[in-house]
A and B are shown apart, each in its own frame.
Chain A
Amino acid sequence: MRFKLGFGRKEAGAKVKTKVRGSYLVLAPIINLLLAEIAGHFSLLAFFKSPAIVILSKYFAIHLLYPVILSIPIILLILRKNPFSFAFFYFLILLSTGNLLSRSELFYASLDALYLKYPDLASYLNSVFSSAKHVSVLGVLLNIVWLFVLSQLVWISAEKGREMEARGMSSKNLVVFQWGFAFVSTYLIFLLYPFVFTFSLPVQAPLILIGIIGAGLFIAAAFLLSR
């Protein structure tokens, strides 16, 4: 076993220590499963609040959606995959977008187009969705995104830890520390995030100034990311 950069080669006859010590390899999928389940719960909460439920409940047994969605991470875990996979995250976000449609210009534009051929249906959809314009799902979506980012950081550090141990590198408590740091930092950002995006200046600044500040921030972000 060896570290990637190393040149050491394990003796052919020696006992190869492929037994990876880290308990994090068991913990990582369990943590991700929990995070996925919580995210799934939040997503379903948003879904049940959305106006789409009014239409869908007429045709489908919506209450069955709960166990179905919550069982997906368990199935992924049984299949030895990341319980909070990208596909599951996409699905949860799409499930939560019902409320976003009620404020989407694109959605209303498509209703206008629909109105030309099916005026009754378009009017019905408009009446259903326009009633939910005031509902905000930013909090729920933020929860889902936070949980997903945390799960990805947990998963990547566990994978890296396994890779290092498989190569014979001694990495005492490294992964656990990384998890701790990931949790603390993501949680802090999660707490501060709503304040940053609801922040408003007490003084009215001219639009040109805001534009210049925005362009400056964009260039600064591009510079930082290119490092």
Chain B
Amino acid sequence: MKIRKGTYVLVKTSMFLLVLGILLTSYELVALSVFPILFLLAPTFPVRVKVLTHQLEGGTYVGDGFKVSISMTAKGFGVVKVMHKIPEHFELSEGSNAVARFVIGSANLKIDYQAIPTKRGKYLLDKVVVQVENPFLTGKLFVRELEVPLEIEVKQKVPKLIRIGVHRGIARSPTPDVDVSKIGVPGTDFREIREYISGDPVKFINWKASARKNEVMVNQYEVEGKKSVWIFLDANPYMRHGELIRNYFEAAVEATNALSYYFTQRGYRVGLYIVGHRRYLYPDTGRRQFRRIVDELIKVEPSEAYESMEEAFENSKTLLVTYKPLIYFITRIEYSKPIKAVLKASKVSKRGRRAPVEVIALAVSGGDGFSEKAVGMLRTSMEARIRSAGVKLTLWEMEKPLSQILLKEVLYA
């Protein structure tokens, strides 16, 4: 048990007088030794604190300030400290989230402050901690919590991507603008003749071929529409490295947000797999899908368990085979070593066509230490292996804006 300073001082004074009194057989000193102790007997009177009003304004996005105002009333006697608990990665910009008052009878307490959220997430700001102690600051400290129904959802600002680079190399075009989709509305481009399956429209029946084969045959057309995009977001424990606010994982989430927004805005189906959590979202289009992705990204944190990229690929293989999407791996290549997963992903397409795969490798520039150099060497080696396999790799140094990096890829392509 931690002894409070006030208690310690009074006990120490009392002990000194008592010991000296006993040594000198002095009644006066022994009698005086009781004087400081009397203050320790002062009880902590109960103080009732009640929340009257509460208000929260703003703070929708990371970096946007929000304002909190809580009015309370306290009745009783003693020193009351009230604090509105806020998460670790919220920065106070104005005012204070805690007040202290000497309450005699009743008093009004008001917490008024402005703070800036620095990390995405859904936060409950529903706790007000109340501490009550006696005016001598000795004795027991009463701590309890009051409930305030306040919560805030902080979204990450989506960096606007002007354009995403065109793939040059073995894979001819991973950008879905020019691709055809496996599923969607049939177009006018003829693909093949196949057997009739229940549900096929009658207008597609090829009567001549049916007569020739003596069974119902239908024309198969290339479907119109946009191709799908599949994003592997690496949430393995090593992504946690870096500062609390800006680390590899936060950068990966930012990239996922940006890519999802870019593609859903253009009508593509976007799917997501969170590596480490073994969770995925089915590919879909539109604003609603973007909202689903954002909701998922608000909650997600780096996982405790490790999942390799290969395992992630195997877990989502069925969907990849169905949709044949453009695949993005957003990871730290020096740790995840995604070469096998990347090669497997590029072989998802049939007929010898390579599926478009792109790796966004996260890195931090600078650092002259031995460890930084070692990690840099590992990354360079992995980069070379991925590139030599014909897969597009974009190295993103997290200090630079993502849109700039992706646009650079377009300009230098």
Contacts and interface: CB of A to CB of B under 8 A. Distances in A.
Contacts of A172: 99, 101
A160 to B, nearest CB: 6
Contacts of B95: 170
A8 B97 contact: yes
Given A5-B85, A106-B23, A149 B98 contact: no
Given A11-B116, A93-B16, A104 B26 contact: yes
B91 A8 contact: yes
B28 A138 contact: yes
A6 to B, nearest CB: 5
B364 interface: no
A100 B29 contact: yes
A7 B88 contact: yes
B76 interface: no
Contacts of B79: 174, 178
A149 B137 contact: no
Interface in A119-165: 136-138, 141-142, 145-146, 148-149, 152-153, 156-157, 159-160, 164
B103 to A, nearest CB: 9
Contacts of A6: 83-86, 97-98
Contact of B28 (A1, A11, A136): A136
A141 B91 contact: no
Contacts of B42: 185
A23 interface: no
Interface string B79-119: 10101111111111101111111101000000001011000
Interface stretch (B31-39, B303-311, B317-325, B335-343): B31-39
A105 B93 contact: no
Given A101-B24, A103-B26, A152-B13, A5 B83 contact: yes
Nearest to B30: A197
Of B13, B16, B37, B86, chain A has the most CB atoms within 10 Å of the CB of: B13
B28 A141 contact: yes
A48 interface: no
A124 B6 CA distance: 45
Nearest to B33: A145
B100 A164 contact: yes
A156 B16 CA distance: 19
B282 interface: no
B389 to A, nearest CB: 42
Contact of B39 (A11, A14, A93, A149): A149
Interface in A73-106: 86, 89-90, 93, 97, 100-101, 103-106
B12 interface: yes
B83 A156 contact: no
10 closest Cβ contacts across the A-B interface?
A: A3-B98, A177-B102, A171-B100, A11-B91, A8-B92, A169-B98, A105-B25, A7-B88, A104-B24, A181-B135
21 contacts: A2-B97, A6-B84, A7-B86, A8-B92, A8-B115, A11-B116, A90-B16, A100-B26, A103-B26, A148-B13, A149-B13, A152-B13, A153-B6, A153-B136, A168-B98, A169-B100, A170-B98, A171-B100, A174-B101, A181-B102, A225-B37
Given A6-B84, A8-B91, 6 more contacts: A100-B24, A138-B28, A145-B32, A171-B99, A174-B100, A224-B41
